[in-house]
Structure 1
Amino acid sequence: MKKSILIMFAFALVSVSCSDFLDVNDNPNNPPISTPRLTLPVAQQSFSTLNARTMTYLGNFLVVNWATPSNWSSNEIYSRYNFTATDFSNIFETSYADIFKNLTYIETYEDPTGAVDYTYYQAISKIIKGFQYQMLVDLYGDVPYTEANLRGDNTTPKYDDAETVYKAVIEELTAVVDLINNAPTNAQNPETQDIIFGGNMSHWVEFANTIKLRMLVRLSNTGQDSYIASQIATINANGAGYITTDVTSNPGYTTAEFKQNPFYDYFRQPVTGDEQNRGDYTVASEHAITYLTNTSDPRLERLYAPSENADEFKGTEQKTILPGTGFTSKDLAKVGPGLIKSAEGDQIIMSMAEALFIQSEATTRGYISGGDAAAQANYEAAIEASFTQLEVADPIASAQTYYAQTTPNVNWSNSSNKIQAIITQKWVALNGTSSIESWIDLTRTGYPVGLPIPEESNGSRPVRLLYPSTEVSRNSDNVPTLTSDDVFTKNPFWK
């Protein structure tokens, strides 16, 4: 699966990726030249990096996994929630200017010789698009879809209704399975150019099914149970099931500069592995440490590293603290060894634990057959997958000991509210990885309960992001008008 990252970054020089969202500066007499084979790994790497960094970092603060020590003034936005149109703009910008742009190039590419069929490349592109469009709708609401990604043919695309986009993506994920299953016999397999599944198209079908199920479960509050049931029936009909292992990317990460695993690189220096500033000003929250301690969770020592001064697992509140009045980074636990593993390691895109928790929720809600026994089996398997991913010692036995205790929202049978138990344990499992999903789950379900809100905020937790100011300025006739208050009050359509 792995491909030399030196080649990977060389691809970026010839790919269609560029920093201009609308791509109106391309010279028509000297157009970008690439092929799906060269462009796919670049798009996948951009997709993986965006989700590993900005989206994961944002999510971990909004669900109170991480905090900031008193010796740093960084991250005040996370204790004040004063989100503006300039914050986190790269989520929106990178999605359109880089990821979607390259994926659309792949989907619309026609081999001038007619000798190569790129059906598998096109299918992979559609699946990654589906994943990222879901995220954009969850975070922003209405987004460009039907008129998006047309480059110079439409530089001011309209914004489509969020629910319309969701259902269009669900239909696309249904169709892409047929596209893969009915691909021509001469369809070129991307093999090692696919840095996620190495060209294993069966795994791509499983991933498409899993993304689709995540979106359908997201609709559980919208009164569309018959639609959800019919869509799940189409998943069952294709017979591929859901992912059976962590979905990861790795183009051949190394310890060299610009070539490390993107999450690891966020916290560690290249070559030496010394701590980046971010590694020093990102510490454990008091709430997360307390919860893990009170539930006797051995994942504590994998999610967090003990403090330098006292070798203890100590967290702090999410607040702006005057220097000299609080705990410094040396007093507090930091991001742990189960998350910051190695420069060369795989980057998680969707964990097996998340997929199993989604299936457990879908079964609990009656969307998937099997009843309580099947929901419990998936719930417990998800916890075991989390222990395995974090490399807890003797992970399966340790997980079984953990969920056998009588504590509600840990032990299935002793949890009166099964959805609360699922989402609470999902919050623990996604700590440090796909924690943006935990924020979305919190907005959707209200779980986990008891997450503190920083006292410096307005007493509410954000439920969405604002459209980037750059997008507002260049597409003002179409961008929905929002105010700073809408960050806290304008819920996603599925709420």
Structure 2
Amino acid sequence: MKPLFKVFVAAALATATTGCDSFLDINDNPNQLTRVNGNALLASALATTAANYTGGIAAGTNYNSYTSFATGYWGKSGTVSGFSEERTYNYSTNTQQNLWNNTYDNLNDYNLIQKQSAVYPNHAAIARIMKVYNFLLLVDQYGNIPYSQALQAATNTAPAYDNAADIYKDFIVQLKGAVADIDAATAGTAVSASEDIVFRGNMTKWKQFANSLRLRILLRESQTNDAALNTYVQSEMATLQTATDGFITNDVVVQPGYAANSNQQNPFYNRYGFAAGAVNATSEYSFVLPTNYIIAQYVDNNDPRVTQLYRVGKRTINNVEVAGYVGTDLGEANPPGFSGATIASRFLQGGTFLRGANAPTVLMLLSEHLFSKAEAETRGLFTGGNAAAKTDFLDGIKASFIHTYRTETSLAVIVGASLATSSPATPGVAQYNTYIAANAANPNVNFDLAPSAGSLGKQAVILYQKYIAENTVASTEAWADYRRSAQPKFKVSLQSASPRADKLPTRLLYPQTEVSTNQSNIPTGITQFTPIFWDVVD
């Protein structure tokens, strides 16, 4: 392990010792570990998960950027070459291989923490939850992976691959076990606020997060043709709905004390916004554009959230400049740029995606959870039926608006239990009310008008709003939802090499690092069009 370092934290927090040079470092070598206490490693591990998931340090090191292309949020701009794999889905063993390598590195840190459960039981319980979170990312992109024999460092450098469906079932076992571990922890084993950069030592919130993660996992595998699996999911859903500690009540975010200093900025902002001390945006700021499809979902539905996401561009029509939001089609051969007759839209600087160098990073959106709960209710996996589903559906939209319009000064606003009593003074609530009123006749917004049957019924409308809420911030979850439900039907260019009717891939290929070191264990016959076990709806 690299020398211990001091984590920068916000003014309200104390400085904490962690296990890497920088809280954004995702390149630790698990085979060079020396003894380190679990409490010293936790903050660094959580910050690394956030960087891997949301922002990354460089190309090919985070899930949401890759899945933003896959699921129809992003396309390439006309000012940069490359992005061939993102535009054609002609993946190779080098495509996004750092996702695999960096996630397993991160899992090694959590594994070290969990091994010290006798001394640090609450730290170990958090690590147990986060191991599920990270292993889930791997299974959802690769299918079968090393699991039961993973994380053994030099004692097993060629681990066997476990069946993805079996791993999914163990996820539920591990999450239930983590909650039980927290309940059993003795006094004097608390996690400090500086160590826990997610919930500041609030272990009840960790239990709620574990429950919401269980819901995410069970919904993933809820639409297969496997009768035994469907029975299992229904049973686990019934148990989950009555969980004592409930579910998350606000966005789950990581905040290690991001600051406008080198190696301390929010990783997404650092990559697509401004480097520390810079007055000009990074080059990657101009590399990607929103797709015309995602822009249309805002513009065509009178959705003001678009004003918080993208800069206004322009098109010149009959020698007349027309201002508006200008995107690209996913895989378009000649996408627009930022000069001449067409000025494409980019992320709004200071908006939702580029809120600032000190903005937190998201691990799970409250809106995702509420839409998932609404889906479970409308499909009979939770009790409550369409009446309960409507409430959670509307609360999901409201939570998305509050997230979208949130400012740093309103960051303390809790958007769970307070949704019903929030006022127009809460950032985003007035805009939410306007959106609902403007779409009274729109079945994509008015839950009562959504069909009860056909094309997945009300589930399709729930997934549509969930897709909008997860734009860029949680693209990984939208990509999984699309693969299991084929919703929504976003547009793909004919440049795609996919043989599928939707012209999309279904997974990543095992990375070249595995091909070079563990080829005998890699499942055979796998292409980027081989579906994950829960992907059966096209």
Q: Is the 8 A contact 1:403 1:412 kept in 2?
A: no
Aligned partners of 2:368 and 2:29: how far apart in 1?
32
1:10 deviation in Å? 6.2
Which stretches in structure 2 are left out of the alignment for 5+ residues? 1-5, 56-61, 316-320, 407-423, 452-456
The residue that corresponds to 1:328 in the other structure is 337
Distance of aligned partners of 1:288 and 1:19 in 2 relative to their CA distance in 1, 3 Å threshold: closer
1:108 paired residue among 115, 131, 147 = 115
- 1:271 aligned residue (270, 273, 277): 277
1:32-181 equivalent positions in 2, closer than 5 A: 32-53=34-55, 54-96=62-104, 98-109=105-116, 117-181=119-183
- Structure with the larger RCO, 1 or 2 (CA within 8 Å, 6+ apart): 1
The CA deviation at 1:458 is: 2.3
Tell me, which stretches of 5 or more residues in structure 1 are unaligned? 112-116
- Contact 2:18–2:40, Cα closer than 8 Å, also in 1: no
Normalising by the residue count of structure 2, what TM-score does the alignment of the two structures yield? 0.83
**SS, match of residue 405 in structure 2:** coil
Preserved CA contact (<8 Å) 1:67 1:282: yes
CA separation in 2, counterparts of 1:263 and 1:273? 17
Aligned to 1:114: none
Distance in 2 (alpha carbons) for counterparts of 1:372 and 1:236: 16
Give 1:186 shift: 2.8
Match of 1:421 among 440, 461, 474: 461
- Cα–Cα, structure 1 residues 141 and 380, in superposed 2: closer, same or farther, change >3 Å? same
Contact 2:19 2:41 in 1 (8 A): yes
Q: Which residue of 1 aligns with 2:287?
A: 281
- Contact 1:281–1:329 (Cα < 8 Å) also in 2: no
Distance 1:65 1:230 in 2: 35
SS at match of 1:59: helix
Matches within 5 A, 1:288-307: 288-307=294-313
Q: Which residue of 2 aligns with 1:356?
A: 370
1:488 aligns with 2:532: no
TM-score of the pair, normalised by structure 1: 0.90
Structure number having the greater helix percentage: 1
**1:453 is matched with which residue: 477, 492, 511?**
492
Task: Determine the structure 1 residue equivalent to 2:430.
Answer: 397
Q: Residues of 1 paired with 2:171 and 2:131: CA distance?
A: 8
Residue of structure 2 aligned with 1:254, choices 259, 273, 283: 259
Superposition deviation, residue 9 in structure 1: 8.2
Alignment partner, residue 212 of structure 1: 214
Taking a change above 3 Å as real, the CA distance of residues 298 and 20 of structure 1, as seen in their structure-2 partners, is closer
State whether residues 283 and 329 of structure 1, in contact with CA within 8 Å, keep that contact through their aligned partners in structure 2. no
Structure 2 vs 1, CA of residues 137 and 307 (structure 1 numbering), >3 Å: closer, same or farther?
same
Q: Which of 369, 391, 396 in structure 2 is aligned with 1:382? A: 396
> Residue 14 of structure 1 contacts residue 33 of structure 1 at CA under 8 Å; is this kept in 2?
no
> Is this contact kept in 2: 1:118–1:187, CA < 8 A?
yes
CA distance in 1, matches of 2:515, 2:186: 43
TM-superposed CA distance for 1:5, in Å, is 5.1
Contact persistence 2:190–2:201 (CA under 8 A): no
Output the CA distance in 2 between the equivalents of 1:144 and 1:373. Answer: 42
% of aligned pairs identical? 29
Does the Cα contact within 8 Å between 1:36 and 1:121 map onto a contact in 2?
A: yes
Distance 1:233 1:187, change over 3 A: farther
Name the SS of the counterpart of 1:345 in structure 2: coil
RMSD: 2.4
1:64 Cα offset (Å): 1.4
- CA-to-aligned-CA distance 1:112-142 (integer Å, 9 cap, x gap): xxxxx30000000011111111121111100
2:165, 2:533 within 8 Å by CA — same for their partners in 1?
Answer: no
Say if 2:79 and 2:286, in contact at 8 Å, map to a contact too: no
More off after superposition, 64-73 vs 432-441: 64-73
**How far did 1:277 drift?**
1.1
Bigger drift between 406-415 and 437-446 goes to 406-415
Cross-structure match for 2:471: 431
Post-superposition offset of 1:225: 3.6
State how far apart, in whole Å, the 2-side matches of 1:492 and 1:471 are: 21
Cα distance change on mapping 1:18 and 1:348 into 2, 3 Å? closer
